[in-house]
A and B are shown apart, each in its own frame.
Chain A
Amino acid sequence: MFRLEKRPTPSKFWLYATPPVAVILTMIAGGILFAAMGKNPFEVIRTIFWDPVFGEFAFYLRGQLLVKAGPLILIAIGLALGFRAGIWNIGAEGQYIMGAIFGAAVGLAVFPTENRLIFPVMVIAGAFGGWLWAMIPAILKTRFNTNEILVSLMLVYVAETILAKASTGFLKNPEGMGFPGSRNFSSYPAAQNGFIYEPLGLHWGGVAALVTGVLAYILLTRHQAGFQIKLAGQAPRAARFHGVSPARLVVLCMGISGALAGLAGLFEVTGPAGQISIDFNTGYGFTAIIVAFLGRLNPLGIVLAGFLMALTYVGGEMASTNLGLPDAAIQVFQGMLLFFLLAVDVLTNYRFRLPFSVGAK
């Protein structure tokens, strides 16, 4: 068979060529799957990849891509900083929930006051909520050496219970006839995260995601803290000699990722979702982990990965509704796309060699 040989330097060509190759491979494999299910594979593939961007209803769906990608990007960038430093925040989902609850609570507390300052304060409260929730694993790690994977993951379930309590208790809409769920922010302009430019689906969350992408890129390439993060991940001992305090780095990275996840939650609850409800969280915190790695932990890559992920969701839904595909088939297809993206990536750093063409052993 073949063997892998490490390239002296990563291939520039494959760095950019792998995603399209992976998408094409997925189309072939997915096409076979869809054909096996008795659907026209070309129609399904076109519905998933083409229609949301260029199809009949693209004027609406294009905007939805950013709505869907925004929170993924925002969370993934925060996570990527931590992952680069070797800090494993798996609980962004919980931080997302807490950000939404904190932010919403501030807004609902002053309902129905109209004041321009309300929304900015809510944004700060949302970031604070996520930050606070992330600080629990961070402090436990630095003080007691407790593994952050377990703590952050377990806190997701705790946050879900608090969310249920908020929806049926302390944030319940007093005019909701006893039904669960908070007031809807769409009827509270001062606290609403409305669209800034609807055709692009741009709301403050999308702005935050894109700005954060650029800021994180600058941080990682130009700033001392970015250097420390990368160093801590690649060579922890060397980092220590450079005066990088591991504890400070944990607090910094967990704090940033928590605050960004909290922000994502706040923008979602005040905008697209509209209200706190029992099932408010839909797994963005976990999907963002995939997005972070698909983007190779690079902020700009994450932005692209977020859009690709969003495309498969939006297009997948279209295929499911219009062509009668089970939702599970779309999940399988998404899984395949991720597999191919991750597998083909090997070509960036390695090349395949057939055994007989290898000169020296």
Chain B
Amino acid sequence: MKRRNLLASAAMGLMLASGAFAQGMDKVKACFVYVGPIGDGGWTFQHHDGAMQVQAAYGDKVEIQYQENVPEGADAERVLTQMALGGCNIIFTTSFGYMDPTNAVAAKFPDVKFEHATGFKRDHANVSTYNARFYEGRAVQGHIAGKMTKSNKIGYIASFPIPEVIMGINSYYLHAKKANPAVELSVVWAFTWFDPAKEADAAKALIDQGVDVIAAHTDSTAPLAEAAKTEGVIGFGQASDMAEYKDGPRVSSIIDNWGPYYVKRVGALLDGTYEQIDAWEGIAGGEVLIGEITDKVPADVKAEAEALRDAIAAGTYHPFTGPINKQDGSAWLAEGATAPDGDLLGMNFFVEGIVGDIPQ
């Protein structure tokens, strides 16, 4: 109880020092907590890129602070507390595992804004959540994969069996199937977010068994590098554009683009319009970018993929539109129905047609 009081009084002091919030602020200190190193070339790299966009947008009016390699759990709670004590006005916690620490620290610092990526808990008025609809990008990839495969075998390197990943696999498969009814999907679970050698091995295993289109939901470019070794195999950039493989196997990519959201939120804090939200934007909001589709893809397929992208952006098409059955054959979405967000966020089943079990 004692520390709570101490922290509360410290926070009070900071609040008095920095003036009232509602009228907007002259200067914002925006802080970021990263789960990996900036040099990971993927997830954390993209978040840091977003932070840099904030700096570029507001110049002297913002001060950026960040901490790399913060383990989820107790260490996150300490880093968050340090940041809040140190005068951060808004703190972005950029990994799902920071959910409980974010809410715990937010309770002690009611005047600091917390933004948690990919979670769902907003226990306090100063906690917002944000995420990106990556499955929208997966739909575009799936379409390209279905059209491009010659062996009718497509592959997916998955990290852990969590809704975020399962959602992507389903979206990818549904659209590949729509483009090419003969398509078969093989899923490899790597049980890691980041292990380049293992990701390369997984890609190799897929290729060795006749897969010629590979998508990955792990962080490194290793699957693309492996695909580059075999003629005729293509893949996609994940998290970042991975443009260095443009002349090789990379035919398109999903880019996590957090910049627009970060700029918007920090801007709202500056001009006093900040409110608690639950943001889940996709292609339309610019959070999910489809990287350039290369010339390896025939013009008609490219046009279809771009049309799909634009339809999703315009809101005229939802990647999960019924009729869709679950893997066991039971009905999920009726004809014309679109998936409620709640179903997607907690997705723990494959759709009909995917072979293999989700490890649970």
Contacts and interface: CB of A to CB of B under 8 A. Distances in A.
Asked if A and B touch directly (CB within 8 angstroms), the answer is yes
Interface of A: 56-57, 59-61, 63-64, 67-68, 161, 164-165, 168-169, 177-181, 184, 186, 195, 198-199, 268, 271-275, 277-280, 282, 313-314, 317-318, 320-322, 324, 326-328
A319 to B, nearest CB: 10
Contact of B74 (A198, A273, A317, A324): A273
Most chain B CB inside 10 Å of its own CB: which residue of A186, A275, A278, A322: A278
B162 A282 contact: no
A328 B345 CA distance: 34
Contact of B360 (A67, A169, A186, A322): A169
A279 to B, nearest CB: 5
Given A180-B160, A198-B3, A322 B81 contact: no
A100 to B, nearest CB: 11
A321 B3 contact: no
B135 to A, nearest CB: 14
A97 B96 CA distance: 20
B275 to A, nearest CB: 23
CB-CB nearest 7 A-B residue pairs: A178-B346, A272-B74, A273-B73, A282-B71, A198-B3, A327-B68, A177-B346
B191 interface: yes
B162 A180 contact: yes
A357 B274 CA distance: 75
Contact of B79 (A67, A164, A274, A321): A321
Q: A interface, by DSSP: helix, strand, loop or mixed?
A: helix
B73 A168 contact: no
A256 B37 CA distance: 36
A277 B3 contact: no
7 contacts: A68-B74, A177-B163, A177-B342, A198-B4, A279-B71, A279-B72, A317-B75
A165 B359 CA distance: 8
Contacts of A57: 10, 82, 85-86
Given A164-B191, A277-B73, A327 B37 contact: yes
B78 interface: yes
B100 interface: yes
A179 B345 CA distance: 8
B92 to A, nearest CB: 13
Contacts of A272: 73-74, 77
Given A57-B86, A161-B191, A320-B68, 15 more contacts: A57-B85, A60-B6, A60-B7, A179-B346, A199-B6, A274-B104, A278-B160, A317-B82, A320-B67, A321-B66, A321-B82, A322-B86, A324-B65, A326-B37, A327-B37
A61 B82 contact: yes
B97 A178 contact: no
A321 B7 contact: no
A273 B2 CA distance: 20
A50 B125 CA distance: 35
Most chain B CB inside 10 Å of its own CB: which residue of A57, A161, A178: A178
B31 interface: yes
B86 A168 contact: no
B75 A282 contact: yes
Contacts of B119: 179
Given A60-B3, A178-B348, A168 B160 contact: yes
Contacts of B7: 60
B276 interface: no
B358 to A, nearest CB: 9
Contacts of B71: 279, 282
Contacts of A64: 78
Nearest to B38: A326
Interface string B28-71: 00010000011000000000000000000000000001111111
Nearest to B76: A273
